[in-house]
Amino acid sequence: MNELFSSIFSVNFGFAILRVMTPLLFPAMGIAVSTMAGSQNIAMEGSMLIAAFFGVIVGAFTGSLWLALLAGIAAGVLLCMILGYFHLKLKADIFLSAVALNMFASGMTIFLLFMITGDKGSTSSLNSPVFPNLTIPLINKIPVLGGILSGHNILTYVALISVFLFYILMFKTPFGLRIRAVGQNPHAAESVGINVNRTKMYALMLSGALAALGGLYLSMGYVSWFSRDMTAGRGFIAIAAATLGGMMPLGTMLSSLFFALVSAVAIYIASLNIPSELIQLIPYLVTVVALAVFSGRAIKRKKEKEIEADKELETEKDE
Amino acid sequence: MEKWILKYFTLIRVMIALIIGVAVTILMIYLISEYPGESLKYFFTGPLASKGRLFNIFEMAAPMIFCGVAIAVSFQADQFNLGAEGSFVIAAAVGTAFAVSTNMPAFIHIPLVLIVAGVTGAVWSLVPGILKAKWKASELVSSLMMNYVAFYFSLFLINSYFRDKDAGFLVSLRLPETALFAQFIPGTRMHFGIILAVIVAIAAYYFLYHTTSGYEFRQTGYNKKFARFGGINIIKVIIMSQVLLGFIAGVGGMSEVMGIHGRFLWQAPHGYGWDGIIVAIIGRSHPILIIFSSLLLAYLRVGGQVLNLMGDVPAELVNVIQALIILLITAEAFLGQWKYRITRRQAEKEEAAK
């Protein structure tokens, strides 16, 4: 037990949590954006995978990190645009289309992987660039905290900064207001001249870009290669993280942190020969409970509002 | 002719989507393969070329039918539940645990293990049902989460208490002979579970289309407000649809253990639930059609495997194609213009006849 505590309260452990959090936080924000626009995009898994793949491939063949970044984001956004096209134009159910696109991404990446490298497992034969790690001056001098916060991959910092940008975008700009308006009441939004479909499409594209960054981090930061189905359900865990975080920026970050903490603990515990499966299921269980509590509260609030409205009506009548 | 098209419009749409899927498959094989003629032959006739492969189709289709029918039952009641996967796995784990720790004659053991598994699956999928019915919590998210909980809990149960320590990898103990399905065609793995899957599909069809409860399911799926207005207890329908989903998927999971593997051996999510969604969509949530869509998907998968093995095109081609087919089928507006034109022409004709 002592061994467990000493490893959990170590600098390495804190560092590991942020490392594990990054590929959850990006798609979780993607879920949050699309949910705010009223079209929850569960194709995060596919977008991450396809971005991770094209990032590595383009990086390996051009040697340029920028082109790799661009290709990855373009692939992720494109997948979500296809989703948008089918959902908004062809009136397909967004969940079913997203399920199909996740399958498509998984199949397509393995397919192309084989066509390009002749290997179905991974791109380890290719020499692809990775995003650099950053040592943050001043902060890295702080004992303990410096060790945890400094020296991460640049995308980890991008993820943390984008939580802040996400807040600004959604709550301080007209664009964010439009997205939220469309999500809350599309008819009302339309009546004041907002193009509902276009706004939803932008939100889906944004969610695709965020997922793509998560995917790029996996194949060009977390490790330096692409392997088949390497997202391993992170795009789905992101749904849990965003739900638990109430689709709000800070909440989503905290719940991603929580999921990362639990999986990091599970990894440590597994190395001590204690069954780690029970630890690993905790975040999902917590999400189910939280979902029940939040939904219950939302219904109660709605009922209270209805009762109030009824009372107001009655008093108006009396007058 | 046009009336006939309108009547079977959904079916025709599915057919056209399938044809486009097959056409794209042929096109891609032509583009990629060095010897396309051979490859096409491997893909399309390969599954029928040997006894082993032919029956492979049926073996592969069985879990798809179970999960597809399970999901169709909830789709019909307008529930988007991804929980088939979780019920499938946890029922297989608990059923395995029960089977290896009990000892009785086969004619009691087999049904009892199946019932234990089915009930486990049903109880498991009751959770999203209750959350949805009571608090309107999204069954999509809660069932997805419950899948992960089911998976990790199953691993914990099997790896900690029922692990076969003599086996070289993480698997459960072998089921006793009395709890195994008989494999009835030598040289293949055809087992009783495949017949059971078809029976379940027929029973589900009967339930949905020929009983009052089934009517209530479909009415709720068709129009919730109208159903409530007509005196249908929506909460009961939601919960019952989830229970049925869990039960059918659970029996399917156990049947896979009892018929094919003889033990619990999944250490990573296999995706049976996702397969179920695919065949439910292609079969338009109709249990009988799902038998055929499962066979079709299994046929394509076996074809992909043969192509992969003998030819020079990876089997994942099938995953790409199935995604395309699903996208086309779920797109309501796909061929919508065509339907609109026919409907209009029909109306004009009727108008003129007056």
Query: Would you say residue A319 has pLDDT above 60?
Result: no
Which residues of chain B make contact with A103, given a CB cutoff of 8 A? 274, 278, 319, 322-323, 326
Q: How confident is the model at residue A55 (pLDDT cuts 50, 70, 90)?
A: very high
In a domain, B30, yes or no: no
Residue A265 vs residue B213, higher pLDDT:
B213
- Cβ atoms A42, A97 nearer than 8 A: no
Q: What is the pLDDT of residue A318?
A: 59
- Interacting residues of B20 by C-beta distance below 8 A, sequence separation 6+: B324, B325, B328
Q: What is the pLDDT of residue A118?
A: 78
Closest CA to B65 of B321, B322, B325, B272: B272
Q: CB A278 to CB B322 under 8 A?
A: no
Chain centre distance of CA B193: 14
In a domain, B4, yes or no: no
Angle at B54 between CA B52 and CA B58, to 5 degrees: 105
Phi, psi of B191 (to 5 degrees): -135, 170
What b/e string do you get for B222-231 counting C-beta neighbours within 10 Å, with b at 16 or more?
Answer: eebeebeeee
Query: Would you say residue A8 has pLDDT above 70?
Result: no
Residue of B327, B329, B332 best to disrupt the A interface, most CBs of A under 10 A: B327
Q: Round to whole Å and give the CA distance between A225 and A300.
A: 49
Q: What angle do the packed helices B234-256 and B272-282 form, to 10 degrees?
A: 120
In a domain, B286, yes or no: yes
Q: Half-sphere exposure of B75 toward its Cβ, with a 13 Å CA cutoff?
A: 25
Q: What is the pLDDT of residue A5?
A: 66
Across the interface, which of A93, A281, A295 has its CB nearest the CB of B153? A281
Query: In chain A, whose CA is at the least distance from the CA of B323?
Result: A100
Query: In chain A, whose CA is at the least distance from the CA of B138?
Result: A291
Q: What is the pLDDT of residue B232?
A: 84
Q: CB B156 to CB A236 under 8 A?
A: no
Which residues of chain B make contact with A240, given a CB cutoff of 8 A? 141, 144-145
pLDDT, tens digit (0-9, with 9 covering 90-100), for A110-133: 888 888 887 777 777 777 788 888
Q: What is the pLDDT of residue A253?
A: 92
Question: Model pTM?
Answer: 0.86
Mean pLDDT value of segment A246-261: 88
Other C-beta atoms lying within 10 Å of the C-beta of residue A240:
27
In a domain, B26, yes or no: no
Closest CA to A129 of A224, A19, A212, A53: A224
- How many angstroms separate the Cα of B204 from the Cα of each of B25, B71, B200, B297? 33, 11, 6, 20
In a domain, B176, yes or no: yes
- Dmax over CA atoms of chain A, in Å, equals 81
In a domain, B32, yes or no: no
Q: What is the pLDDT of residue A260?
A: 87
What b/e string do you get for B325-337 counting C-beta neighbours within 10 Å, with b at 16 or more?
Answer: bbbbbbbeebeee
pLDDT, tens digit (0-9, with 9 covering 90-100), for A62-71: 988 899 999 9
Which residues of chain A make contact with B153, given a CB cutoff of 8 A? 277-278, 281
Question: For every one of its 354 residues, what pLDDT tens digit does chain B have, with 9 covering 90 and above?
Answer: 777 777 788 788 888 889 999 999 889 888 888 888 888 888 888 888 888 888 889 999 999 999 999 999 999 988 888 889 999 999 999 999 999 988 888 888 999 999 999 999 999 999 888 888 888 887 888 888 899 899 999 999 988 888 888 877 778 888 888 888 888 777 778 888 899 999 999 999 999 999 888 888 888 888 778 888 888 888 888 889 999 999 999 999 999 999 888 888 888 778 898 899 989 988 888 999 999 999 999 999 899 888 888 878 888 888 888 889 888 888 877 777 787 788 888 888 888 887
Across the interface, which of B137, B317, B323 has its CB nearest the CB of A101? B323
Other C-beta atoms lying within 10 Å of the C-beta of residue B147:
26
Range of the domain at B157: 62-290
Q: What is the pLDDT of residue A95?
A: 87
Q: What is the pLDDT of residue B293?
A: 92
pLDDT, tens digit (0-9, with 9 covering 90-100), for A284-310: 888 788 778 777 777 777 777 777 767
Q: CB B330 to CB A100 under 8 A?
A: yes
Query: In chain B, whose CA is at the least distance from the CA of A266?
Result: B152
Q: Round to whole Å and give the CA distance between A76 and A206.
A: 10
> Amino acid identity of B162?
F
In a domain, B196, yes or no: yes
- A2-278, CATH topology level: ABC transporter involved in vitamin B12 uptake, BtuC (1.10.3470)
Q: Tell me whether A302 touches chain B (CB under 8 Å).
A: no
In a domain, B258, yes or no: yes
pLDDT, tens digit (0-9, with 9 covering 90-100), for A225-250: 888 888 888 888 888 888 888 888 89
Task: Please report, in angstroms and rounded to a whole number, the separation of the first and last CA atoms in chain A.
Answer: 71
Q: How confident is the model at residue A316 (pLDDT cuts 50, 70, 90)?
A: low
Q: Round to whole Å and give the CA distance between B86 and B83.
A: 5
- Dmax over CA atoms of chain B, in Å, equals 82
Report residue B314 as tokens.
Answer: 């990876």
> Shortest Cα distance from A291 to chain B (angstroms)?
6
Residues of chain A with pLDDT > 70, as a percent, come to: 92
H-type alpha helices, A118-173: 145-149, 154-172
Residue B160 vs residue A105, higher pLDDT:
A105
Closest CA to B115 of B254, B258, B264: B254
The DSSP secondary-structure symbol of B177 reads G
Query: Would you say residue A43 has pLDDT above 70?
Result: yes
